[in-house]
Amino acid sequence: MLDVIYGGRVMLMNRIEKAAVNSPVRRALQRFYEVPALMKLAGGPLAPGARAVEIGCGSGYGTRMILDRFRAANVDALDLDPGMVAKARRRLVDRPGRVRLQVGDATDLKAAFGAADGSYDAAFDFAIIHHIPDWRSGVAEIARVLKPGGVFVFDEVTAHALARPSYRHLFDHPEHDRFTAQDFLAELPRHGLAVTGAFTRISGDYLLGAARKQDLGRG
């Protein structure tokens, strides 16, 4: 059950957390509650032809939601765990040409996909940034690769949840510099991301929201 650090920057899930995020209960929650809520916060489906990136794709369930519900034309999705990426390839085999899957670090999308500044119309974080010890670098990388006007859709676990005994005993997470919902939302504007809507649930344990990349070149 030991955690694993990749490049000193991102922490992999342990076996218990993998089982939890891949459970039917978690998938039902994501499909029937989280994705509809996130779509409202993001202003509905993406524009036709939209190109998206997903950090921490896991077994590809969220990737399918991005394609089918958010209606992205193409998705670049990555995960640190080769086993999860292999599962995602099998799940998304019926989407030829629409998904690029890669083993890689969420803080370096250039290495994973050759992503230049302003490469994507949308970026998705389904509870991955709290696994990054330097979580601000994850936010900065998402802001870098978003086009002006692009949307960042996030569903995050806060320090309030990570301090609960159940989280501390069952899961492995970075121990330092954890963020509250307020910390996370305050960080986004520092990277040119303007929050368009957000809310917390279960006493602030979870944060759902969306933000738009500002066009800093305009007045």
Can you give the pTM of this predicted structure? 0.87
CATH homologous superfamily of 5-213 equals: Vaccinia Virus protein VP39 (3.40.50.150)
Domain ranges of the chain: 5-213
What is the crossing angle of helices 82-91 and 61-68, to 10°?
40
pLDDT the model gives residue 3? 35
DSSP state, residue 22 = T
Taking only the tens place, the pLDDT of each residue in 100-136 is: 999 999 999 999 999 999 999 999 999 999 989 899 9
Nearest to 215 by CA among 97, 72, 118: 118
Tell me what the mean pLDDT of segment 77-84 comes to.
94
pLDDT at position 4 = 36
Q: Kindly give the pairing relationship between strand 206-213 and strand 146-157.
A: antiparallel
What is the tens place of the pLDDT at every residue in 10-60? 556 656 456 656 678 778 888 889 999 999 999 999 999 999 999 999 999
Q: What is the C-alpha separation between 43 and 93, in angstroms, rounded?
A: 29
- Closest-CA residue to 136 (of 93, 84, 176): 176
